[in-house]
Structure 1
């Protein structure tokens, strides 16, 4: 400890050059020192420059919000996500990331869905967001607690000039159950930095021990909190959820690994992972109490006000927020940022995973925009052109606007459908019944209704929801996870490295040749068993029937990566050549290829073996992978260079290719894609491959890449032209050239045939093609698919025309009934009647403008309640009021439906309900009572004026 403190004292004597660039400071009314020009852009730049220029950190760009190769996450939700391969010890040793020791960045993050879900909290307070930026600095086996704390304190107090008396730090108090002592080292470091002892506070596992997941790296953390009020001791408010004292920076010291059995083991390499929300930091530095009052949000709030009918944003929350108008402002401002970032990064609203979550975010924004803020349809998309967002997403703004508009139109239609579902369900329920959870879940999961919208709609109808049942359904959905195969954990990877076990040489997967008869030869591969893995332990021996993972010094098996499935095959052991050991799967882990198998005989480290891949399966995968490259090329030739690959998966049976497209392709377009590919197959081009430095590969004209972390050097695959020629001549060529680690045919003629078996839009803006090759393509043929496609297109067009015709007839009938109703009650100020109709919504739609044409009837209490009597004695009741009246529509509907032993709900101007009439006489009596009720309310209002 003494050595640490001496090192800290020496570190503190280092002179820092000012980074603020002449930014002047001033005091806010509360006494907080803030800089006049502390814009969000300046704050972000100063953070990056501090660590990059003064502390030799590598500035790493933000990764997209769609996680790279991490199925455990829906979105990137923390700055450390892109560095998980380093922390887990499985970074490709050839990649640039493997060389990182110090890093700094500002990471785009989305917290909605999954473990970290702030979606339902957004808008209710002034600091939750679904999208935010995480400022962070990292050490991977370099500096640790002393330097991390000292750098953080200097940046906050000396560079950003935040008063030290406003800052509090927490540290880990220890946990006896886990055998963890208090982190006294961190406490002493803070005291040595000059932090007041009563500002250094201990907290337990929940607040000050960070874990990546159920297993993996973890460790104590120290958090820095800021008191917005000042001139007091606010220690009692730390970690209580008080908006006046907020956490601004979390420093995590990863020094343990959580094992599957719940135990903790020291890590072989200690790391530092810090995270500070840009929005909260800017709030502090601009002297605000709300994130929404900073320059990150004020341009958006102003734009929302201009395009809606809502009053000016006032920053209210809770009961003070009348009509939840300010909540609506915050929801729309937050969600439009999330939508822009996600769509720009290739995540579009859809039906599964992250796409489904984004769909719910969009629909929540639409609902608040149209219903709470009274903005017209299309207003949400217009915010994309707000100057703040346009600067970030200018090249994609038209695409983002189109996607938001289309999804808004779809949701408004779903909203009407959902209301009908709720009304039908309520009509079949007894008054005291709970609304069934399966129906609510269907509205949420299938129609995309946000949960808080379902709660509100039921509350307006005086109904309660079976929340416990809904929680069970949600838990069943979110906790369902695919089974995982054997994988090397962090401790075993570190143990392999400490033993000096070299990374697996898998270059032999490319060692195959094309014979004159068109077949491929795959020579066997001799290898040595370097390690055996079972039950999260490295073993020297496994017995017969035991499932294990095997690490070799070399292999010819292709480990699953780059969208291509893994090889299968077998191996034999020297001295036991008649016994086959089947290999089920091959996976990559930190530079090692793990071969998964169930041992047919005893297997030991040091055994010499002969590997043999399943040649039929490998060639089939090579066919599909080569065809996928040609499909990518053909789509770009047909649709233009704006087409981008959004994912692919190649198996022995078929290929799947996702790409950006505004709409589904027509039959003629799909046929043209097939013709282009068939021509390349017939021309039998050579497929060239070459490993080149990543920087040089990126100079190739027309190079197609996907959002992946590539090794360096990287493998370039070109169809028709040698890679060396493309490297020396940067003239754009009409050839397929991609960065790819997969296995491919050596000539395109080996594909023989390609047939597209399906094409559809997965979500708006993303289409998926599935295709087969070779003998499978011959058997399938394309004729049947295209005939079905033409038939489907024709049926959809016929359905649209039929629905339009039916709608016109309904509107015409509704208009006639509405006119007739008005004529019967021409001189009445209160209108109560029955109306038989199949489309109450259409009739209401027509009645409102018709009734408003009579200005002399402005004193009317109600323009329209409808009571519709049907054979089963069930009544539906609707009420519409025009302008200011003496009785609210919801009050009137509740009173009427109460007499019918039913329920109702709505607003002051529009309400609906259901009830049961025992017979026609009961219905007529209720009609008379409804009219008397309205008259009495009107008379009461006149007497009290």
Structure 2
């Protein structure tokens, strides 16, 4: 079977078993504790916890889930390319039961698919069951053992040989430190040539590539709590995961389980082979399916082995990056984005092993092959193919520009390495200056038999982070030590205050976290700032300094001295004067997103946003945006504001809007049964607006409430990622006033510079350049009249006048410098004629503009002076120094660069140049006489 047929066979099998086939969730996880979706169960966590009802009838599903393990607890990055089965990106085939069926059905169907339908010999299949050690949760999984035993006996196999016991590490599955979990049964395939079950059972869970885990059946019945305990879930669930690439490897590598003479490899399948063929085409080098022994000395690898590893790393990393970018996760400088940038730079570095370089890029050229092979199963990479290719090309080009310089520093570090160790300072400098991740430096070092000073590097990184932390002005309050089952109803979409009952009170340092049954306060999420306000109890009003989401509850942060207890009736009042501008900026963000798609590109995907009462920030992936496009987006948003369009929202079943291209649903996220659609335009709540997004934030009721919209800035924040900062309402007025004042100051400065330049020209008899009028906008009067176009027109006129004034000033300065240079040349010629005629070395000083210095040096060469000269020009600010050595002077050992460097140091200066000519400067003008005497002595 081909890879595509194996994937479809799995899905078809579970469709027969009444499972709903669902598309893969995004690689951007819903859980804030994960860098990437790293397991098939991630998107279904709300169903396992009972927070949401599974929207399937019956409540069972099957899928192939995109996963990345390249950071955090689950990290396979270092093993990629060195063995047959580790990847950073992989597919996880899975079948799921949400409180429907449990162990018996899951085990029987796994057996039916693998043994009965695919044909794996039963004696080559080993099942492991949970056998806890002292201190482990739960008990021996006798139920699973009995079900497996019955199946093995039916095939004439000894269950005591085929079934292996596993401890918590191997047979208790947990996604993270907290969350749904439970015992599991893993299926391992014995790939030894003989297939002896006694030999196979000894290899289970022993990191052998001759006994590979292929499927994990997890029986979810607990929730791991923050305190380390395990709570029984309301319902029992099944979560399975089959490694797709491993399944392909075993089926294809054994010719359908008929030939076990060769060790299978994931990379020998048609999942990777088309990519290898393309790399061969681009590099001119052949791929060899060879692997180093476990724990082999990497410094002893042959070139063929190094190239084989490079093929595998590049192919793996291409998949990781392409699928991430398709889901809107771009390479960047922080968090998961930086993980991707590290992966890309690893791929580029390995590309050097195959002859690729800045002059011979390769990464973007591989995207088409990947899309051709996987675009049918995952249409998102086909739809975003051009964006993926451009992003990879930009990132590769950017890193190639620094790679050579970084490699030079690395080579220098190798020479200086002591005791086979690269210092932490070098590792940090490579990261800080050249963008080398520490693992890339470690990789380069391992190829030379060197280790890196990891602790020293970490100390420098922590020092840099501390400096960054101290520079921050904002403080984020987190209720990390609170857990609760309470539920708070949010009424803040329509109300600014609410009568509430206190459910729980949690002391936290100097504050109380007060959880109530209802609240109008919005907790910071989705980029929208959280609310502040007050809590009223028994007629006394206390400030609420923030609000924190804790599970499904909302905690209000008040001073620790407030007397409040569970059962108290309170009134919660949010600060509406702060909330209204937050809502305006949030709604303006929706309009900006719509305008971005209208003006720049439909493929421009949101990369993050932040809104508060003072401004909005919107990040998106795109190439450079022109000034004309910025102006057009601004105009479109303001046109919507002028139209006073309705802003409305509606709770609807997700099934009604799922897949609608006109409703933005970010990154293919898994949503609950009901979603909230925010629309601008159209009839209120009828889903006919021109801007529609799934959004849980708060908004204005009509676009006119936004007020004037103005883009403050737009620029790149990372390769392929742009940021717009903008303001609306009263913040716009403040910004325009500030801009007008700055424009006024700039204009006056430009006019003063123009006047000074004209005065210089006039002093030498040259006609000046006329000035320009620079009218400034009356910002406040325009704003009060809500004349948006008048404000923009006035600013355009003022900026145009400023630019004209600046251009006139520059033109005058150019004329003056040209005339000044001519005068300096004449002065130099006259002075040098006398000095050369006097004979001997030239040592002279002048009080003049700095431009005279180069004319003196040029003049000595022009007049054929063969001796040595040292000239000094004092411009009233510092000493400008020049050394000259003609042919005769150089023949006697004089070098201009050496002379300049030594003499400049006398007056605290520096400089340099070639043997025949050098320049420099020194700040200590009082040392002029000392330099002159030293020069005379030096040039004799």
Tell me the TM-score normalised to structure 2 length.
Answer: 0.69
Q: Does 1:168 align with 2:129?
A: no
- Cα drift, residue 259 of structure 1: 3.4
- Structure 1 residues 549, 271: closer, same or farther in 2, change over 3 A? farther
Note if contact 2:676-2:695 (Cα within 8 Å) is conserved in structure 1.
Answer: yes
Q: Does 1:292 align with 2:264?
A: no
Q: Does 1:414 align with 2:402?
A: yes
Please name the residue that 1:572 is paired with.
536
Gaps of at least 5 residues in structure 1 are 1-37, 497-502, 513-521, 535-541, 728-732, 799-869, 872-945
Task: Give matches, 1:530-929, under 5 Å.
Answer: 531-532=503-504, 534=506, 547-552=512-517, 554-573=518-537, 576-580=538-542, 582=544, 584-587=546-549, 589-590=551-552, 592-597=553-558, 600-663=561-624, 665-697=625-657, 702-707=662-667, 708-723=669-684, 727=688, 735-781=690-736
Q: What secondary structure sits across from 1:139 in the alignment?
A: strand
* 2:176 aligns with one of 208, 213, 233: 213
Please name the residue that 2:96 is paired with.
138
- Cα drift, residue 631 of structure 1: 1.2
Please name the residue that 2:65 is paired with.
107
- Cα drift, residue 683 of structure 1: 3.6
Structure with larger RCO (C-alpha < 8 A, sep 6+):
1
Please name the residue that 1:849 is paired with.
none
Task: Give matches, 1:373-384, under 5 Å.
Answer: 377-384=360-367
Q: What secondary structure sits across from 2:492 in the alignment?
A: helix
Distance 1:130 1:784 in 2: 53
Note if contact 2:479-2:548 (Cα within 8 Å) is conserved in structure 1.
Answer: no
- Cα drift, residue 292 of structure 1: 0.8
Task: Give matches, 1:345-364, under 5 Å.
Answer: 345-364=327-346
Gaps of at least 5 residues in structure 2 are 154-158, 255-263, 294-300, 470-474, 748-798, 811-896, 899-940
* 1:466 aligns with one of 445, 453, 458: 453
Note if contact 2:25-2:670 (Cα within 8 Å) is conserved in structure 1.
Answer: no
Please name the residue that 1:116 is paired with.
74
Please name the residue that 1:922 is paired with.
none
Please name the residue that 1:938 is paired with.
none
- Cα drift, residue 768 of structure 1: 1.4
- Cα drift, residue 120 of structure 1: 1.7
Q: Does 1:314 align with 2:313?
A: no
Distance 1:185 1:133 in 2: 29
Task: Give matches, 1:519-534, under 5 Å.
Answer: 522=496, 524-529=497-502, 531-532=503-504, 534=506
Task: Give matches, 1:427-506, under 5 Å.
Answer: 429=416, 432=419, 434-444=421-431, 447-449=434-436, 451=438, 453-455=440-442, 457-458=444-445, 465-470=452-457, 485-486=478-479, 492-493=484-485, 504-506=488-490
Distance 1:700 1:331 in 2: 37
Distance 2:50 2:464 in 1: 31
Q: Does 1:181 align with 2:181?
A: no
- Cα drift, residue 41 of structure 1: 1.4
Larger Cα Rg: Structure 1 or Structure 2?
A: 2
Note if contact 1:321-1:327 (Cα within 8 Å) is conserved in structure 2.
Answer: no
- Cα drift, residue 258 of structure 1: 3.2
Please name the residue that 1:852 is paired with.
none
Give per-residue Cα distances to partners, 1:428-481, cap 9 Å, x unaligned: x47558421132134246634355653464467786532443466789999999
Please name the residue that 2:373 is paired with.
388
Range moving further from structure 2, 757-766 or 418-427: 418-427
Note if contact 2:93-2:242 (Cα within 8 Å) is conserved in structure 1.
Answer: yes
Q: What secondary structure sits across from 2:629 in the alignment?
A: helix
Distance 1:446 1:50 in 2: 53
- Cα drift, residue 611 of structure 1: 2.1
Distance 1:569 1:388 in 2: 55
Note if contact 1:51-1:57 (Cα within 8 Å) is conserved in structure 2.
Answer: yes
Give per-residue Cα distances to partners, 1:406-430, cap 9 Å, x unaligned: 2222222211110232345567x47
Note if contact 2:505-2:566 (Cα within 8 Å) is conserved in structure 1.
Answer: no
Range moving further from structure 2, 759-768 or 278-287: 759-768
- Cα drift, residue 147 of structure 1: 2.4
Distance 1:487 1:453 in 2: 34
Please name the residue that 2:316 is paired with.
334
Note if contact 1:309-1:374 (Cα within 8 Å) is conserved in structure 2.
Answer: no
- Structure 1 residues 189, 389: closer, same or farther in 2, change over 3 A? closer
- Structure 1 residues 431, 285: closer, same or farther in 2, change over 3 A? closer
- Structure 1 residues 228, 586: closer, same or farther in 2, change over 3 A? same
Note if contact 2:592-2:637 (Cα within 8 Å) is conserved in structure 1.
Answer: yes
Note if contact 1:74-1:353 (Cα within 8 Å) is conserved in structure 2.
Answer: yes
- Structure 1 residues 695, 82: closer, same or farther in 2, change over 3 A? closer
Q: Does 1:405 align with 2:393?
A: yes
- Structure 1 residues 533, 241: closer, same or farther in 2, change over 3 A? farther
Please name the residue that 1:918 is paired with.
none
- Cα drift, residue 550 of structure 1: 1.0
Q: CA RMSD in A?
A: 3.8
Note if contact 1:525-1:611 (Cα within 8 Å) is conserved in structure 2.
Answer: yes
Q: What secondary structure sits across from 1:193 in the alignment?
A: helix
Range moving further from structure 2, 57-66 or 187-196: 187-196
Distance 1:544 1:325 in 2: 57
- Cα drift, residue 724 of structure 1: 5.7
Q: What secondary structure sits across from 1:509 in the alignment?
A: coil
Q: What secondary structure sits across from 2:113 in the alignment?
A: helix
- Structure 1 residues 484, 709: closer, same or farther in 2, change over 3 A? farther
Note if contact 1:633-1:736 (Cα within 8 Å) is conserved in structure 2.
Answer: yes
Report the number of matched residues.
716
Note if contact 1:175-1:181 (Cα within 8 Å) is conserved in structure 2.
Answer: no
Tell me the TM-score normalised to structure 1 length.
Answer: 0.69
Note if contact 2:648-2:685 (Cα within 8 Å) is conserved in structure 1.
Answer: no
Distance 2:117 2:684 in 1: 50
Distance 2:361 2:375 in 1: 17
Distance 2:190 2:710 in 1: 65
Distance 1:99 1:473 in 2: 55
Distance 2:402 2:308 in 1: 25
- Cα drift, residue 122 of structure 1: 0.7
Distance 1:605 1:349 in 2: 47
Distance 1:81 1:394 in 2: 24
Q: What secondary structure sits across from 1:510 in the alignment?
A: coil
Give per-residue Cα distances to partners, 1:559-589, cap 9 Å, x unaligned: 444432322222323xx12253636204263
* 2:24 aligns with one of 48, 58, 62: 62
* 2:48 aligns with one of 77, 87, 97: 87
- Cα drift, residue 488 of structure 1: 9.9
- Structure 1 residues 725, 238: closer, same or farther in 2, change over 3 A? closer
